[in-house]
Structure 1
């Protein structure tokens, strides 16, 4: 039997490669002669680069040092894929977890842009940009600055980094912006929010980045000034992703795409499913939102197209797992406390359980 193990991370407990390894070990403990292939997955947020590094054996991690979300240097990596493209993750360069304290008005994405520039300077033929986990609401201005754009006030001086600097924005100079690479730029996100308005970057995501009720109108006003000057559609689905970074990247010429299917393609999941009998996918919590572009549904859709049965493993299952041949809740299998205390052991148990009950 050929089994493909393709889970997302179990947020806060185990990475996607760790989850895939645990499920695979559990399965092999019961059926050691089966062909078990691990393809860790992600949806374009934090952990995307780690998942692809594990799934694509010929990939190469490249260390980079870039300005963090408030300017302090951070050490990160970008990933070179064997097809010539590079993967850059915003969370690792300009992410909210890099801040000791949230700074909604001054945090920026300059480091993310610096890592992208390094990938281009190293000859990347295309880019996969994972933009989840942002610390800022700067509309992608930091990224574009690192790529050669200038954002100026009425006197022609550079405006400060961060959302607050956008309030002084009067003109944009894109003449020095580096071109996109020949194979293009895919921005991976499962967010469909526009840049502005009640469903936009400031209103919906600003509070998650520390914005108070007084801050949100300030962030919105700055983004509105930016929207009037950059050649992109602020109403485009996903323009509000990562504090408006989606909008800035659209102005560069990037294309916003659903994250999980793009990661699956880059990881080689469609090829891995060819001839498989079963795919096992999962995430920390399977709920109604999981049906909207999350990893398990992306994997199940690819499996269905390939004529492969799918099984689901999740920490908890809070929505109907229609379409999965079998579903395992770790909470029901080992108990909530045990699943959090040792998630790898719980997933090994789940892998063994599936191997025992599925023909």
Structure 2
């Protein structure tokens, strides 16, 4: 048998690579002679960087960068196994988890650190960059990122704008003359799983601002600032991105990637599946095993399992999923191509215990699944 193991991480418990290893360990206790292909995957959100690095034999590179509130933080980017592709999770440098809840303020938080990660990745001589956007503490339209990359965002006096989304209301001119020339040679792909425009009732400020500490008054001010920003992007760069789907992702980071870097916005799950080459790896397989920390109705709306099942379906392969926990509204998952679903925890235990025994339970569940398959064969 050839068995492809393509799980997501079990959040707060195991990385996708460790999940794949645990499943293989359990299966090998019953089917030691099978061929196992491990492909850690993700949906473009948290864990995407690690999954792509693990799946391609790449490496993580640590960098000291500017955090959301201008503090120095340690972040990292990934260099994939081909040596030509870098992966950045903006949340690593500019994420909301970097800022204590009582200090969050999208009026002044900055994406500069994400730009600094990009600069460091450029030093590796890459040709392609995948930027996972989401989980940000910012609402600056990617302004800080672009300033780090050499763009001048000037006020009426010719002075550089200070950090934060509110400062964009004073933007008078955009000067890209000093933007790092290497950016012109890079293919940018942004993992973007939301279709929000930059401004308006469904825009970055209104929808995501409150999650980042914005009051109703702040939301109004930030939205006006981003409207002004969009007008100058169109005037100075000739890029009309304000109402483009995805432009409002990550506090407007989508708009900057579109306008300055000509990025292609794609669903994160599609980017990951392409990058790890899952379609090629399932050719000739007998079975695909996947898994995730929690599987419920939302899983069918673009999560990892959906992408794995979609590819397996192209080759008429059965997909079995293992889950840390299962929601009551899980029926939709079966309609997406998951043939069977098994929780790995069978007793009512505290979450802390379930997390502590996650690897042990996963190995046991995989062994039992392999035993069942052997009996059926």
Matched, 1:283 2:283: no
- 1:1-359 equivalence runs, <5 A: 1-57=1-57, 59-81=58-80, 82-100=82-100, 101-179=103-181, 180-182=183-185, 184-230=187-233, 231-252=239-260, 253-314=262-323, 315-317=325-327, 318-320=329-331, 321-322=333-334, 323-331=337-345, 333-335=346-348, 337=350, 338-358=353-373, 359=376
Number of residue-to-residue matches in the alignment: 357
Aligned 8 A contact 1:105 1:162 in 2? yes
The alpha-carbon distance between structure 1 residues 232 and 311, as it changes in their structure 2 partners (threshold 3 A), is farther
3-state SS, counterpart of residue 44 of structure 1: coil
Structure 1, unmatched stretches of 5+, are: none
CA contact (8 A) 1:150 1:172 kept: yes
* Deviation of the 1:336 alpha carbon: 5.2
Deviation for aligned residue 1:339:
3.0
Q: Deviations over 1:30-89 (max 9, x none)?
A: 3222222221111222221111111112x2322222111122222222222215111112
SS in 2 for 1:33: coil
RMSD of aligned alpha carbons: 1.9
Deviation at 1:234, TM superposition (A): 1.8
| Cα gap change, 1:172 to 1:271, in 2 (>3 Å) | same
Rg larger in structure: 2
Q: What secondary structure sits across from 1:7 in the alignment?
A: coil
**Post-superposition CA distance 1:298-351 (Å, at most 9, x none):** 1110111122211122221432122211111345x3445353442222322332
What are the Cα deviations for residues 198-230 of structure 1, in whole angstroms up to 9, with x where unaligned? 221111111221222232112212211111111
> Unaligned 5+ residue runs, structure 2?
234-238
